[in-house]
Structure 1
Amino acid sequence: MLEINDLSVSYGAIRAVRGVSFSVGKGELVSLLGANGAGKSSTIKCIAGALKAAGGSIALEGKDITTANPEQVIRAGLATVPETRDVFPDLTVAENLMLGAYIHRRDQAGNRQNLEKLHTLFPRLAERSNQPAGTLSGGEQQMLVIARALMARPRVLLLDEPSLGLAPAIVERIFEMIETLKKSGLTILLVEQNVNQALSVADRAYVMRLGAIATSGTAEEIRATSDLSAHYLGG
């Protein structure tokens, strides 16, 4: 579904991502792990079209999207949940969700059907449908931005640090939802610092260090790497 080949990302003279290659198969949940500054978020932003690649290529279902802008990437079937957890605070939960369906705005029946499914997955959002998004808790806002991305009906979902700044009990709930999405057949690329949580839902994982892939393998193989924390995650 997603093929990253020799990808590089630069901020001026600083090379944040250096020759990164990895793939995500249909229906897989792949985790991209690493400490702060490892290049994970820069990689995600480049895939999402928010940053331009300095080199390499990005393909979605065999189609080159390396130079695509964010709207083109979403229309191609890939939606991103950024780590910044941005909502439109003065709009209601329902209005935020419908903004996620903008590319399908002419298919109102399909949007209503999708919304019903998401209300089942995120019942808290259904309860707060008419509430301003800015009044939600951090965990509820994370649910909202995930659901809003799903309103675009993506075939690939990119999740950037979904556990960031959340209480442990809320993190557990978020990862239960991610597991449910995985079981539905959705292809997911998960960027996460919480190694144990990420590996608990992942099929495979890649570990980034200093802008490059340091190691990769199945979740079980990565979990069995005794020096993972010390050498790759800054522990």
Structure 2
Amino acid sequence: MLEVNDLEVRYGAIRAVRGVSLKADTGELVAILGANGAGKSSTLMCIAGALKAAGGSIRLDGQDVTSANPEKMVRAGVATVPETRDVFPDLTVTENLTLGSYTRRSDRAGVTEDRERMLALFPRLAERAAQPAGTLSGGEQQMLVIARAMMSRPKVLLLDEPSLGLAPVIVDQIFEMIRTLKQSGLTIVLVEQNARKALSVADRAYVMRLGKIAASGTAAEIGAATDLSALYLGG
């Protein structure tokens, strides 16, 4: 479904991502792990079209999308949940969800059906459907941005640090919802610093260090690696 080959991302003279290759098959949950500054989010944002690739290629379902912008990526079937957890604070939860379906404006019945499905999947959001999104807690806002991304009916969901800054009990809830989305057959690429939590839901994982892939394998293989801490922390 998604194939990245020899990807390079630059910020001026700085090479943030250097020769990264990875793939995610249909229905797989692939985790990208690593310490802060390893290049994980830059890789994800480049896949999403928010950053321009300085080299390499990105293919989605066999099609080259290396030069696509974020809107084209959404229309192609890629939805992104950035770590900034941005909501439209003055709009209600329901209105935020509806905005997530802007590429499907002609499919009113389908949009309504999907909105109800998201509210069923995220009961906390259903309870607050008429509230301004800016009044939600951090965990509720994270649920909202994931649900809003799903409103585009993506083939691939890109999640950037969904546990960042959340209480452990909320993190558990978020990851249970990620597991539910995976079970629906969705392809998910998850960037996460919480390695153990990510590996608990992932099929395969890549560990990044200093902009490169330092290790890769099944979630079980990466989780069992005796040198995971050294790889993860850059030791």
Task: Specify the TM-score bucket, using the shorter chain as the normaliser.
Answer: over 0.9
Is the 2:207–2:231 Cα contact (8 Å) retained in structure 1?
no
| CA distance in 2: counterparts of 1:232 and 1:83, whole angstroms | 20
Q: Deviations over 1:5-45 (max 9, x none)?
A: 00000000000000000100000000000000000000011
Name 1:67's counterpart in structure 2: 67
Alignment of 1:81 onto 2:81: yes
Name 1:37's counterpart in structure 2: 37
The SS at the match of 1:149 is helix
- Residue 120 of structure 1 aligns with an amino acid whose one-letter code is A
| CA distance in 2: counterparts of 1:133 and 1:182, whole angstroms | 26
- Residue 147 of structure 1 aligns with an amino acid whose one-letter code is A
| CA distance in 2: counterparts of 1:224 and 1:126, whole angstroms | 39
Q: CA RMSD in A?
A: 0.8
| CA distance in 2: counterparts of 1:9 and 1:34, whole angstroms | 17
Scaled by the length of structure 1, the TM-score of the pair is 0.99
Name 1:16's counterpart in structure 2: 16
The SS at the match of 2:79 is strand
| CA distance in 2: counterparts of 1:234 and 1:152, whole angstroms | 37
Q: Deviations over 1:83-114 (max 9, x none)?
A: 00000111111111111000001111000111
Q: Structure 1 stretches of 5 or more lacking a match? A: none
Name 1:228's counterpart in structure 2: 228
Which consecutive segments of 4 or more residues in structure 1 shift more than 3 A? Answer: none
Name 2:134's counterpart in structure 1: 134
Scaled by the length of structure 2, the TM-score of the pair is 0.99
The SS at the match of 1:120 is helix
Is the 2:205–2:218 Cα contact (8 Å) retained in structure 1?
yes
Identity fraction in percent: 75
Q: How many residues align?
A: 235
Q: Deviations over 1:182-207 (max 9, x none)?
A: 11100000000001100000000000
Q: Structure 2 stretches of 5 or more lacking a match? A: none
| CA distance in 2: counterparts of 1:207 and 1:231, whole angstroms | 7
Is the 2:100–2:151 Cα contact (8 Å) retained in structure 1?
yes
Is the 2:7–2:17 Cα contact (8 Å) retained in structure 1?
yes
| CA distance in 1: counterparts of 2:234 and 2:66, whole angstroms | 31
| CA distance in 2: counterparts of 1:92 and 1:118, whole angstroms | 15
